[in-house]
Amino acid sequence: MDLKDNLIKLYEDIEIAKDKSNFNRDVKLIAVSKTHPVEMIDEFNKLGVKDFGENKVQELVSKIEDKRIEESLKNNELNFHLIGNLQTNKVKYIYNKVKLIQSLDRIKLAKEIDKRAKNDDIIVDCLVQINIGDEDSKFGIKYDETEDFIYELLDYKNIKIKGLMAIAPNTEDEFLLRKLFEKMNNKFEEISSKAYEGVEMKYLSMGMSHDFKLAIEEGSNMIRVGSKLFGNRNYN
Ligand SMILES: *Cc1c(COP(=O)(O)O)cnc(C)c1O
């Protein structure tokens, strides 16, 4: 498989979706590298991709420590985002090593991130994950609890809220997907308009390989694409 061709095709599709969209938002690409080797990350990085997403702490840490991408990480030419569920006892391994924790969904987790960040005198950027399809199988806070949750987070001064993240249900139902993405954008704009101190509604992270076009049309400005770039995942 030619990674460069995949990337060019993706960039084309992103432009088409942006043209269809009523929003004039730049779209940031997170290449989801989970299960794929560091060689492929390095190859995409050399093609200009800077941001990579991982969903497991252990895999993320082993990639961060890989000598082959050490230099790029150090120079900030390559960043990792944590996009998967984060257990509180694993915060210590990654809180100061990722660009963005995209899966903040519990006060207990916020407390732990904030404590560690305060200790180091750093700010940790996070997205609040919303369970937009209200699915038992997915993490994230309930849509209707978003504002209350963010309000509570304001106490944690070493966490900076940079936006919202959602994983849409795995469905072909375009009407439903559009509706859910639209709801996410409504919440994104609603919270932006409140202009809370310590909250910067910069990223609306939604859209994956099968639904990123719809997500962009409905206002997404950060997509997380794995299989469209890297090919199918092999979990063995
Ligand atoms: C795996 C994953 C993706 C990418 O999925 P693809 O369908 O391969 O594009 C995006 N977001 C999250 C949170 C993921 O876990």
Mean pLDDT of the chain: 96
Ligand 1 atom with minimal separation from the 210 CA: 7
CA of 219 to the centre of ligand 1 (A): 18
Structural domain harbouring 202: 3-225
The predicted structure's pLDDT at residue 236: 62
CA of 34 to the centre of ligand 1 (A): 8
70 in a structural domain? yes
Helices (H), 121-211: 146-153, 174-194
Largest CA distance in the chain: 48
100 in a structural domain? yes
Q: Say whether pLDDT at 169 is over 90.
A: yes
Name the domain count of the chain. 1
How far is Cα 175 from Cα 111, in angstroms, rounded to an integer?
38
Q: What CATH code is carried by the domain that includes residue 51?
A: 3.20.20.10
169 in a structural domain? yes
CA of 231 to the centre of ligand 1 (A): 12
Ligand 1 atom with minimal separation from the 208 CA: 9
Q: 232: burial class by Cβ within 10 Å (0-12, 13-18, 19+)?
A: exposed
146 in a structural domain? yes
236 in a structural domain? no
- Answer for the pair 91, 109: CB distance below 8 angstroms, yes or no: yes
Whether 83 is in the pocket of ligand 1, judged by its Cβ within 6 Å, is yes
| Nearest CA, atom 13, ligand 1 | 83
231 in a structural domain? no
Position 108: which residue type?
Answer: K
233 in a structural domain? no
Helices (H), 35-167: 38-46, 57-64, 70-74, 91-94, 107-120, 146-153
pLDDT in tens, 27-54: 999 999 999 999 999 999 999 999 999 9
Position 109: which residue type?
Answer: L
Which of 9, 32, 44, 233 for mutating ligand 1's site (highest number of atoms within 8 Å of CB)? Answer: 32
Element (H, E) at 51: strand 51-54
What tokens appear for 4 in the block? 């460069």
pLDDT in tens, 105-144: 999 999 999 999 999 999 999 999 999 999 999 999 999 9
